[in-house]
Amino acid sequence: MFKHALIATDGSELSTRALATGLSLAKALDAKATIVTVTEPRTHLIPDPAVIASPASDYDSALATAAKTILAKAQAEAGKLGVSFDTVHVPNEFPAEAILKEAEARGCDVIIMASHGRRAVARALLGGEALRVVTNSTVPVLVCR
């Protein structure tokens, strides 16, 4: 059925559950997994004074460290299950676009990710990454909640 799953995670509790689901599916199907985390570009849309005032290199370093932590936890989970996997951190991109690009570039035949379940105004303001992936994907997408 599926031979290569792309599993997206941002380290949140919900995406950690999606990671577990994706790894279990990969294990059951003897499929390879690519685990991806994406860090968004620095914008000033959310005026956090600490972030805006910090030098770009400090900000980028903090994001890279956070991504390494997220992927290390994912690696541990994949290792426990004996799933064949790769990890990738995509910096400075918007999540939906990065997830779709990685899935295509790596030949993934399913994408597994979480939906944070935002509604109405929150979705309009904060975006719906899972919706963007589902809408634009050429492969099946399993959305976990």
- Is 66 part of any domain? yes
Same-domain status, 124 and 73: no
Q: What is the pLDDT of residues 8-61, one digit of tens each?
A: 999 999 999 999 999 999 999 999 999 999 998 876 555 555 555 556 668 788
Q: How far apart are CA 88 and CA 67, in angstroms?
A: 9
Q: What is the DSSP secondary structure assignment for residue 42, as one 8-state letter?
A: P
pTM for this entry: 0.86
The count of domains in the chain is: 2
Q: What is the pLDDT of residues 104-136, one digit of tens each?
A: 999 999 999 998 755 544 444 445 899 999 999
> CA angle, corner 16, sides to 14 and 20, nearest 5?
120
CA 4 to chain centre: 15
Same-domain status, 65 and 14: yes
Same-domain status, 28 and 75: yes
Q: How far apart are CA 49 and CA 34, in angstroms?
A: 35
- Is 103 part of any domain? no
- Is 92 part of any domain? no
Domain ranges, residue 51? 8-34+43-79
- Is 109 part of any domain? no
